[in-house]
Chain A
Amino acid sequence: MTSPRERPAWGAIVPFLLPATVFYLGLTAYPVIRTVWNSVHEVLPRREAYVGGAHYVELWADDTFWRAVRNTVTWALVAPFLEVSIALLLALALYARVPAARILRIAWFTPVLMSYVVVGIVWMWIYNYDWGAANAILRAVGLGHWAQPWLGTTDTALPALIVVTTWMWTGFNMVVLLAALHALPTEVIEAAELDRCGWGAKLTRVMVPLILPTILNLLVLSFVGKMKIFDLVWITTKGGPLWSTETVSTYVYKRAFEWSTFDLGYPSAIATVWFVIVMSFVAVLTWMVRRQQKLEY
């Protein structure tokens, strides 16, 4: 920054900010406002009519919507804990000086770089009833009676997809946690060792509390990601069977572009409600993480 006494150099600031502002206003801010506007209108290809809160009233009584909310929230609550706890375990394993740690770190990170389209197709095959790896392994260890079409059964479809996101994101969380562990001051850990702290105590009393801010950040990040999930579901199950994997995003897409109702107002109302919910969750969680960090230091 230049010295505070100077007047703002608008002649330089405006040209630098202008292109970003145009993109932001035109392709982010305006669409958000337009969606909110849509949500109180009936929006047909050639006709738009004000309907007030009608879409919201309809939404309140829409069972499929609530089913989608339940699925999405389940996903968003379960997945972060799975990902982060397994990642912590793996990070500690690598932290304990394992040979080839660098290569393992790179290998474990790979799934997150793949498109959900690719990942979805691969996992559809893994879950295939006849020759998928999941059932092949069960049959090989004599648990063949557990074999089932994992994505085709209402009870197992959502858990099966949660396994996929866990597979995909654990490596990412692991890398972040490992970086946080390596950033810990060595004196603290040496002090714990001098105090004859056992491995377990060193872990729970010293290391985990010190990287708690990172853990919380990762939980929030994973939570937000799952609240938005679309691609994976769309490729694998399209929300089926019987809405057992319907998420809010897939339901918005269906109502906007798949159903022959043509009305863009109703899906916009869903999107608006979800937008408000996600943003308030993020605000509250960020506030909690901040407060936690203040307590720490």
Chain B
Amino acid sequence: MWGRVLARAAVMLVIVLWTMFAAGPFLWVATISLRTTSEFMAAPYALPETWRFDKFATAWTGSGYDTYFTNSILVVFSAVAIVTAVGAMAAHALARYRFPGNRLVYLLIFSTIVLPPQITVIALFQTLAKLGLYDTRVGLTLVYAAVQLPLTVYILESFFARIPADLFDAARIDGYSEWATFWKVAFPVAMPAIATVVILNTILLWNEFLYAVVLIADDARRTLPLGIQKFMGDQLEDYGMIATGLMIAIVPVVLIYAIFSEKLIQGMTAGAVK
């Protein structure tokens, strides 16, 4: 009897400790983001006395976060739109049609999921420079679409493959072209999987740093992770403002997560369970 109670208490203790460990750092940053640096230095772990939401306005207009945020939105949304369309078409072709080389193409695309990014990043720098796309948002967008292509095809292919062939036969009898069959039948049916890859790619690209730091140089074209890094480099001691900047990057992710937590967890873990 006592053994059971003790075991139960131990389990609860582990759970409480890990929850504090996992969530603590973010709650701490959230409090700092609403306090000034001098308030923070006086008592690093105190709660905000006055909630200084105006710091967000200051960071937004005064420290370039409006530019970084806009750049992130532009690059990430365009890249996700491109990779969803391109990836869905490829996944559909690989799942639906039987042709020689089908599995080879799939394997080639799939194996690049584990590719270390250094193997492409130097040559991408050279290539984009030659094409005049170095230090442009268009260049970064195209690279981002290519980087997320394998994961997108991988998740969508397995979903498309489970769409019953009868559905396509019916579409053909109704006189749909192959193109119309894809956009009007396969794509809508695959909406749950499409939503998963859209959310997943958005978050992964929103956080991306390596390609951005190599392919973007000008301050006016920096995405949020680069902007935060630069701001930290310039204002190393202004912890209060840095924390506000961090929250500007975190909040959209938390919002997406709050709405789509199940979908996102599904997407993130899709590769691991298989």
Contacts and interface: CB of A to CB of B under 8 A. Distances in A.
> Which of B119, B123, B225 has the most chain A CB within a 10 Å cutoff?
B119
B198 interface: no
Contacts, number: 269
B122 A35 contact: yes
B28 interface: yes
Interface string B113-148: 011111111111111000000000000001101110
Given A8-B99, A110-B23, 9 more contacts: A110-B257, A126-B25, A175-B269, A230-B118, A231-B209, A256-B122, A271-B116, A275-B115, A279-B115
Given A217-B272, A271-B122, A104 B228 contact: no
Contacts of A133: 24-25, 28, 45
A203 interface: no
A284 interface: no
B74 interface: no
B93 A17 contact: yes
A122 B105 contact: no
A93 B182 contact: no
State the main secondary structure of chain B at its contact with A: helix
Contact of B229 (A8, A117, A179, A264): A117
Contacts of B142: 23, 27
A28 B87 contact: no
B104 interface: no
A10 to B, nearest CB: 7
A122 B250 CA distance: 12
B191 interface: no
B26 interface: yes
5 contacts: A16-B89, A26-B146, A30-B123, A133-B25, A136-B44
A272 to B, nearest CB: 7
Interface string A256-274: 1100000010011011101
B272 A275 contact: no
Contact of B117 (A109, A228, A279): A228
Interface string A83-109: 000000110011010100000111111
Contacts of B41: 131
A279 B123 CA distance: 19
Interface string B36-80: 000001001100000000000000000000000000000000000
Contacts of B29: 122
A75 interface: no
State the main secondary structure of chain A at its contact with B: helix
B195 interface: no
Contacts of A52: none
Contacts of B229: 117, 235
Given A15-B179, A110-B257, A113-B253, A89 B25 contact: no
Interface in A173-196: 175-176, 179-180
Interface string B5-20: 0010001101100110
Interface residues of A, number: 94
A24 interface: yes
B15 A249 contact: no
Contacts of B105: 17
Nearest to A4: B98
A275 to B, nearest CB: 4
A20 B90 contact: yes
B182 A38 contact: no
Nearest to A11: B178
A79 interface: no
B11 A268 contact: no
